[in-house]
């Protein structure tokens, strides 16, 4: 088991999770138990406590002040099409996680951090455009290794979400096949199925996906895939579940807390 300790700066809340009894979940939990330093501690979507467009503009201004050649702009009433364009702009500046572009590698850490935050805010805005009742929390760590998923692991990707479930987080730069489908993104070039894992994770607090809704989406994706320019042997659509919340939770109570204070693993 492990606990996520949330805080609002004055009060703490503890959420308990039971790790699933699967080989994938066990090796993910082994990484989580190594107590890597926390990196992102305030990455929440559908949480209702942020001005995301303002925050996105702030990060873009930091980047533009560093490099005046960058002419990107952000409208006050942002659309998915605009977010697709901004994400492509991020991909072109950032490059792959393990390498980075010459621009990114030469940039000061402040600029690198602004670009990473820029990408996170894009995804938060995309989630808000899709729905307002599927809150999520992403927790990431510093200095954690990225490890290749085994053929067995690849069999367990799903996009039938269950409430209170922990999923291995995407740890590449680019877009998953599922995100390209959901965003109707025709300009993304860095389409990368998830092939590796780390200690990073996402918790989905929204309602469990009804089976009929999942089945309809699966059929739509299977009909859409053959017409895409990317061709992957394993598109790895969705995420891999590894743990579940123990007991009941009231999402309105959980939403009062906006920062991850620590992760406590129990053997």
pLDDT score of 132 more than 80 = no
Q: What is the mean pLDDT of residues 124-146?
A: 90
Residue 56's CB is within 10 A of a number of other CB atoms, namely: 21
Residue 95 confidence (pLDDT): 86
Q: What is the mean pLDDT of residues 185-202?
A: 92
- Structure tokens belonging to residue 189: 């070039």
Alpha-carbon span 150 to 157, nearest angstrom:
12
pLDDT score of 203 more than 80 = yes
Place of tokens 């895939």: 225
pLDDT score of 217 more than 80 = yes
Task: Please tell me the pTM assigned to this model.
Answer: 0.83
Handedness of CA 58, 170, 162, 243 (dihedral sign): negative
Cα Dmax for the chain: 52
Task: Single out the residue of 79, 164, 158 nearest to residue 122, CA to CA.
Answer: 79
pLDDT digits (tens, 9 = 90+) for 168-189: 999 998 899 999 999 888 887 8
End-to-end CA distance of the chain: 7
What dihedral angle (degrees, nearest 10) is formed by the CA atoms of 223, 228, 230, 232? 10
Alpha-carbon span 146 to 194, nearest angstrom:
11
pLDDT band at 126 (very low <50, low <70, confident <90, very high): confident
Domain chopping of the chain, boundaries: 18-46+136-245, 47-130
Pairing of strands 165-168, 43-45: unpaired
pLDDT score of 70 more than 90 = no
pLDDT score of 97 more than 80 = no
Q: What is the mean pLDDT of residues 39-66?
A: 90
CB 240 within 8 A of CB 204: no
Residue 265 confidence (pLDDT): 97
pLDDT score of 60 more than 90 = yes
Residue 40 confidence (pLDDT): 92
Place of tokens 């991850």: 260
Residue 89 confidence (pLDDT): 85
């Amino acid at each position: 088991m492990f606990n996520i300790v949330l805080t609002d700066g004055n009060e703490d809340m503890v959420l308990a999770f039971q790790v699933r009894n699967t080989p994938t979940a066990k090796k993910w939990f082994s990484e989580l138990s190594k107590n890597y330093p926390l990196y992102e501690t305030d990455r929440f979507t559908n949480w209702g406590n942020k001005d995301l467009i303002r925050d996105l503009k702030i990060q873009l201004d930091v980047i533009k002040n560093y490099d005046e050649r960058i002419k990107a702009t952000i409208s006050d009433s942002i659309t998915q099409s605009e977010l697709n364009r901004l994400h492509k702009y991020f991909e072109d500046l950032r490059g792959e996680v393990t390498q980075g572009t010459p621009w990114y590698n030469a940039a000061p850490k402040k600029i690198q951090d602004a670009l990473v935050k820029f990408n996170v805010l894009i995804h938060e805005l995309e989630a808000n455009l899709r729905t307002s009742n599927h809150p999520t929390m992403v927790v990431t760590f510093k200095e954690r290794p990225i490890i290749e998923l085994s053929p067995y692991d690849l069999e367990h990707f799903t996009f039938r979400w269950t409430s209170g479930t922990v999923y291995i987080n995407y740890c590449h730069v680019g877009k998953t096949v599922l995100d390209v489908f959901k965003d109707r993104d025709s300009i993304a070039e860095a389409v990368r199925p998830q092939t590796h894992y780390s200690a990073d994770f996402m918790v989905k607090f929204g309602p469990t996906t009804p089976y009929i809704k999942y089945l309809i989406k699966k059929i739509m994706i299977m009909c859409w895939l053959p017409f895409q320019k990317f061709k992957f042997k394993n598109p790895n659509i969705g995420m891999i579940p590894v743990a579940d919340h123990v007991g009941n939770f009231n999402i309105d109570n959980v939403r009062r807390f906006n920062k991850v204070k620590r992760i406590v693993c129990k053997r």
